[in-house]
A and B are shown apart, each in its own frame.
Chain A
């Protein structure tokens, strides 16, 4: 496939170093000296560096996109890039250029976000992101060099429904049971989250304020750790995006009580929203694409329209892949995305002020 771009080339050239290394390793066993290995390694590295620096140097006034578009991911390879790949794999066919990925993991995705906020707004560097780095990050973290306004929104393409779960063996069957149990023994029920001031923690704080109950948070290091704590029965409940919990919902180990989405989940329609269950709290989690703020409008439009076309024309295949990951296909464009983000940021800010009093 014509699948060569910046990131891929970077990876290939690193591989090249290993391969050089291995072939010389073979030669050496035949009796040649070590300095040859050194020379070849150095040559390999020089070659790699040359390729890499050459890559960035050609830019022009050609029609966008004239070269591969680079999407920065603030995490290691995993869900964030996988869910973009699902539709950008079609991009070469639609706009003649591939999307490549660069991973800059660190500080809950904010390292990658900060990098993109400072990048050249030429449409060749985008951020593949989720609610965490662009909405929660600037609200909760001090000293970040970007805000939500540092980015030009392009599109949100999937929802990652956030859910509240108990073990199937739990006596709590509905949200109402939970509130009653919490009221009869306040400060006794515990819930696992991916960490304090993460999305699940925000969702639970909003809910317990609304329901006027006191629950105890047990922060774990990431969603996987919160799955483990709930699976082992060390906490009473767990809150997380659906993805990490879904295998255990499917296997029958977990029961979902409610979702923080605005609407019910398309593939689990029997699970109510918090609002329907009588507690009007919403916490949308999603994956989307944003660009540095000053990016030309036409570029944003090009990417959004291409995404839309891909998703419309290949809907069935794409939707199936998302479903498996616990994600819900739901595309919105720049204006709507912007409006929703700002509203979400403002409500998060209010909750944050409340939470901060107790920390």
Chain B
């Protein structure tokens, strides 16, 4: 029987969303300590600090990359024809 590939991606999407929610909840866990963060940042007072760091950091990188791309992008044959 031919496998139904069409159902796989929606299924993966649902699993991804569920995992995201689970990770979000885990950030509030009382077990968490900032063993892996420097003391000056006081991250233990803010349970969502790591997700926020990931979110803000990657958003900044994506925007920076977009901006840099407008200056740095050239045609594929740039070095051949220049």
Same complex for A and B? Answer no
Seen from chain B, the residues whose Cβ lies within 8 Å of a Cβ on chain A are none
Seen from chain A, the residues whose Cβ lies within 8 Å of a Cβ on chain B are none
